[in-house]
Amino acid sequence: MADPLLERLLASIEAGQAVALVTVVKARGNFEHALGKRALIWPDNVAFSPQWALGPLEAQIVQDARDCLSRRQPQLLTYQEGELEIFVEVQRRPPTLIIVGAGHVAVPLAQLGKMIDFEVVVLDDRPLYANQKRFPMADRVLAQPFAETLRQWPIDEDTFLVLVTRGHSHDVESLLEVVDSPARYIGMIGSKRRVKAVFELLEKEKGIDPAKLERVYAPIGLDIGAESPSEIAIGVIAEIINVYRGGRAVSLSDALRADRRLALHPARGKKAD
């Protein structure tokens, strides 16, 4: 007979859903009956459990397991002075890379995004650019309006947004939709002049608090002196990995915030910025 819990677990993994497999690995005294019992817990769904019968502790265990999911870390949880131990095995869904804009940089970005096992979504309002033929590696290619699509997208802490649109106006409308979102990463391409213009417009005409824009990585990427579309894409993906894995590399945006006199393209000098 098939194990219903195992079937639900496999279905969640195949669907790319975040789920925690929770197992009682130690149970003494009043908890002996629960030894070996397992449960599935999702971030925002009811738990699937074979009746633990742990009383008030169940709600705490569910919350603690969801915290493990949020942190992406398995953990051994101990309750009642060691009488009960629960192991939480975390199955996170793949993070999503949303590439807003389907120009030259977007193609190597999509390729590299798939190489690091992200779900890749490409968004552009031009069907000539946003199509599966141009992005065969992408999981989804959307030829739709920027603002409306981003407004309706279920952005969460596993979402990484890269704005590589073709102009200021699209940068502005896209940032307006995502700057308050729980996205793990928001990066925007552009020269120092373009980034400054976009930020000033958002602050002065749209009333955006400048503090909110500090979370935006702009100019985008690690400070590697990237020039070509492929080099820029490498710098961007490296920055995303740095954020995702908690690395210590220096982002170009952080370097420029510390010293605005730095040249964006060292090989070409300050005039190119």
> Average of pLDDT values for 214-235?
94
pLDDT digits (tens, 9 = 90+) for 252-269: 898 887 766 666 666 655
Q: Which residue has the higher pLDDT, 272 or 104?
A: 104
pLDDT digits (tens, 9 = 90+) for 48-83: 765 778 888 888 999 999 999 888 889 999 999 999
Q: What are the tokens at 261?
A: 């006199």
Q: What is the largest CA-CA distance in the chain?
A: 74
- The full 3-state SS of 18-63, as one line of letters, equals CEEEEEEEEECHHHHHHCCCEEEECCCCCCECCCCCCCCHHHHHHH
d(CA 213, CA 259): 17
Are 144 and 123 in contact, with CB atoms under 8 Å apart?
Answer: yes
Write down the pLDDT at residue 272.
45
Write down the pLDDT at residue 73.
86
Cα 113 to chain centroid distance, Å, stands at 12
pLDDT digits (tens, 9 = 90+) for 134-163: 999 999 999 999 999 999 998 988 899 999
Question: Which residues sit opposite 120 in a β-bridge?
Answer: 97
Write down the pLDDT at residue 85.
96
pTM for the full model?
Answer: 0.76
Helical H segments across the chain, by residue range = 4-14, 57-71, 106-115, 146-152, 168-178, 192-204, 210-213, 229-245, 252-258
3-state DSSP helix/strand/coil % of the chain, to nearest 5: 40, 20, 40
> Per-domain residue ranges for the chain?
4-91, 96-272
- Statement: residue 270 has pLDDT above 80: no
Least confident of 39-53, 74-88, 230-244: 39-53
- Statement: residue 91 has pLDDT above 70: yes
Q: Which residue has the higher pLDDT, 4 or 77?
A: 77
Are 218 and 100 in contact, with CB atoms under 8 Å apart?
Answer: no
Write down the pLDDT at residue 271.
47
Are 105 and 95 in contact, with CB atoms under 8 Å apart?
Answer: no
Handedness of CA 111, 13, 66, 153 (dihedral sign): positive
Write down the pLDDT at residue 101.
97
Q: What are the tokens at 244?
A: 């995702």
Q: Which amino acid is at 222?
A: L
Are 251 and 222 in contact, with CB atoms under 8 Å apart?
Answer: yes
- Mean pLDDT taken over the chain: 90
> Average of pLDDT values for 114-142?
97
Question: Which residues sit opposite 254 in a β-bridge?
Answer: none
Are 100 and 140 in contact, with CB atoms under 8 Å apart?
Answer: no
- pLDDT above 70 covers a percentage of the chain that reads 92
Write down the pLDDT at residue 255.
84
Are 219 and 205 in contact, with CB atoms under 8 Å apart?
Answer: no
Q: Which CATH superfamily is domain 96-272 in?
A: NAD(P)-binding Rossmann-like Domain (3.40.50.720)
